[in-house]
Structure 1
Amino acid sequence: MDDLKMTRRGSLGLAGLAAGLAIAPGVANAAKAAKGPSKQTPAFKTKIDFKDPEWTRDTYVRLDADIDPTKEKCGWIKGKAYGVRPNEKVRPLFDVEGFSFVRTKRLEDGSYRRMLREIVFYRNLETGEIMKEWDNPYTGEKVKVVPIANDPFNFTISQFQPEAPSYGGLQKAEPKKVPFLQDWEFGPNGTMLLHTGIDMQYPNALQPDKWVRESSGVMNRVSEHFIYTVKREDVENPKLTHIPHIGAWSRITPWLPWMLMGQAEGHVSYFTHFQTIPEGEKGLPADLVAAARAMDEKWLHAPTEDYGPSLSSLENYAREQTPAPVPAGWTPPVPPPAPKGR
């Protein structure tokens, strides 16, 4: 969830998500619960036009957050993270579950600053408990679990394509004034589908000379992709300042630094689903709320003002953690050899 940029992607088959939209908890009642725009809500476009950058801007603000600055939107995510190595089956590592709170601020040029906090915990596959320690099956070592905790992860949504995140200056890209057009399509049963994603490779904040056991190498290669499913009638409804949705998020990332895998071959692949939680904190699992509150009350509220920098979990790890000791003779785990013949 921390490497987000909107790009155009090819079409995917999502009949299952479309069918699920009608019965997803919280989504079906979100429109009924909406109180409508406040006096502070700026005017926004609801007439669907995939070629209009202003419609794209307004619709994405309503989808990703709430275009009414007096409201905050709560999003929930749940799924699994898998280990991927050569010459062996993909292995489920742990469950993933978390949430975010976000609000928006209208800027003078008509764009919107999206201001978000997000926190994601890891659960034991067998017990479902939020983990503080994890037995790494690749190394046989018990390691300390570090949740994703991004405060903030902000960016500007305008009628021009958002810039790629800089991650504190680690990723350098020349901004280009490209109209903001996303990959929308009409789905079955009155639904609409949005595909967004980003594929990146940039210098690692955890360089291997210092972070021997945490670093995957001098470069990070990360891909994140999102699929949103919404009701067309909600997109066209001028009373809805937020568009309720369900969706899927996938992420390919290096071994998580707290796994202490070093530069071992392989990576982690996340596969999750997400949706709006109109009840906010009250609609979230109690143990998630308790775990977040134990860290800091701020995780249960969206920022009220803009600040930074906006970093991903990898850069935050480099700022908040310390390198693990390197045992004598330690080497990264090696995948099994390729099988001979068939």
Structure 2
Amino acid sequence: MPILSRRAFALSGVAATMALSSGRAVASAASSPRGELAGQSDLFVDLSTPMGNVEAYARIVGDTDPAATSYSWYAGRVSGQRPGEAARDLMRIIGMGTVRLLKRENGPGYMMLRKELGYFLDFETHEVIDRWENPYSGETVTVDHIANPSINIELKPYRGDIGLYEEVDKATSQPFLLNWTRVGDRVLTENYADLWVRNPLDPEIWKRESSGLMIAISDSNSFNVSWADLQNPALTKVSSYGQWVHRRPWQPWMLMGQAEGAISYICATGSAASLYDLPEQIVTLARERHPDFLEAPTEMTKGESSLARYMRTRTPAPPRERAE
């Protein structure tokens, strides 16, 4: 709900949640982009080449038919963890993304245009929560669900500087090569990012919302696809399942300020060619709350991070009243 460049995937939930990755190789049990996965003249996509990785990845996270809207979903739990304590479950989360791929105008590859939704749920009832009692503070707060209307990500043979946050440790350009492992007809890969970025929420202004001047965000998206589908030139979209793991500071609406600790999202993920292949709950919620998110963008518009959107649409919370 839910990684492409070292900056791009911290933008969204699966994306965010699908849009970020570092250029470091992921340890693999069996294969790499070389050997049995690459170098054969009869392969539709050659995973030893950057452009082969772009074509494979584009068909996993989207649909290379520019007229098509493709979908992704995620569902899992949100846990919190403070120093000296075990992690504890706080709530559940379910979300979806709508994606359109367009050919890049200034080079090979694709521009991924994406919208993303996510809703926080009661851990026991699985119902949407708009108010939440923070077990760490005992305060009841207003929940700010995920609604990112514009996430633009370039899928190209080299990783560039793309993202929604001001980064401190910018990575240099390098070839877009994922690590792939084949087990029979299944092929697995991961795209991930570890970011250290400036927080849009100034702690001098957003005293109860901001976790500090700098924030650490980590994203990992894994994908499990069919090798036969990946090598089938008739398929513009390849079905996938996987996992999204996202770690970040407390959400600003939790009103934890600069208290030590972090939250993690641990979610199952999947892709879909139609709304009928998404979990029913997320489609129902989207129809009720954000029906315009059910269709992918048709043109690029300016994107912003969830924290920047929070800053634009909310006002700083007043000091908490002390109990007498």
Task: Report the TM-score when normalising by structure 1.
Answer: 0.81
Matched, 1:219 2:219: no
Question: Structure 1 residue 48: deviation in Å?
Answer: 4.1
Matches of 2:29 and 2:125 in 1, distance apart? 33
Matches of 2:70 and 2:198 in 1, distance apart? 33
Question: Structure 1 residue 294: deviation in Å?
Answer: 3.6
Alignment match, 1:88: 85
Alignment match, 1:206: 201
Alignment match, 2:263: 268
The answer to which structure has the higher strand fraction is: 2
Trace 1:182-331 onto structure 2 (pairs within 5 A).
182-186=178-182, 188-280=183-275, 282-309=276-303, 311-327=304-320
Trace 1:1-342 onto structure 2 (pairs within 5 A).
1=2, 3=10, 4-7=19-22, 8-11=24-27, 47-108=44-105, 109-167=107-165, 170-171=166-167, 176-186=172-182, 188-280=183-275, 282-309=276-303, 311-327=304-320
User: 1:298 aligns to what SS in structure 2?
Assistant: helix
Matches of 1:46 and 1:98 in 2, distance apart? 34
Deviations 1:56-109 (A, max 9, x none): 111111111111101111111001010011122210010010101001111232
Contact 1:161–1:177, Cα closer than 8 Å, also in 2: yes
Matches of 1:46 and 1:252 in 2, distance apart? 37
Matches of 1:177 and 1:204 in 2, distance apart? 24
User: 1:299 aligns to what SS in structure 2?
Assistant: helix
Superposition CA RMSD, Å:
2.1
Deviations 1:155-206 (A, max 9, x none): 1111111424143xx23666744221112222x2321111110001111011
Alignment match, 1:26: none
Assess, with a 3 A threshold, how the Cα gap between structure 1 residues 283 and 232 changes in structure 2: closer, same or farther: closer
Contact 1:216–1:262, Cα closer than 8 Å, also in 2: yes
Question: Structure 2: 5+ residue runs without aligned partners?
Answer: 3-8, 11-18, 31-41
Alignment match, 1:333: none
User: 2:316 aligns to what SS in structure 1?
Assistant: coil
Deviations 1:19-56 (A, max 9, x none): xxxxxxxxxxxxxxxxxxxxxxxxxx953433211111
Matches of 1:48 and 1:293 in 2, distance apart? 37
Identity between Structure 1 and Structure 2 (%): 33
Assess, with a 3 A threshold, how the Cα gap between structure 1 residues 115 and 121 changes in structure 2: closer, same or farther: same
Assess, with a 3 A threshold, how the Cα gap between structure 1 residues 175 and 264 changes in structure 2: closer, same or farther: closer
Alignment match, 1:339: none
Matches of 1:166 and 1:100 in 2, distance apart? 17
Task: Report the TM-score when normalising by structure 2.
Answer: 0.85
Deviations 1:278-297 (A, max 9, x none): 332x3334443343234332
Contact 1:9–1:196, Cα closer than 8 Å, also in 2: no
Question: Structure 1 residue 247: deviation in Å?
Answer: 0.6
Matches of 1:248 and 1:47 in 2, distance apart? 26
Matches of 2:233 and 2:239 in 1, distance apart? 13
Contact 2:169–2:196, Cα closer than 8 Å, also in 1: no
Contact 1:214–1:259, Cα closer than 8 Å, also in 2: yes
Matches of 2:250 and 2:171 in 1, distance apart? 30
Alignment match, 2:36: none
Deviations 1:198-249 (A, max 9, x none): 0011110111111111110111110001111111001101111011100111
How many residue pairs were aligned? 295
Q: Which has the larger radius of gyration?
A: 1
Matches of 2:272 and 2:118 in 1, distance apart? 15
Matches of 2:284 and 2:316 in 1, distance apart? 28
Q: What amino acid is aligned across from residue 86 of structure 2 in structure 1?
A: K
Q: What amino acid is aligned across from residue 103 of structure 2 in structure 1?
A: R
Q: What amino acid is aligned across from residue 319 of structure 1 in structure 2?
A: R
Give the 4+ runs in structure 1 shifted more than 6 A. Answer: none
Question: Structure 1 residue 10: deviation in Å?
Answer: 2.3
Matches of 1:125 and 1:64 in 2, distance apart? 28
Alignment match, 1:22: none
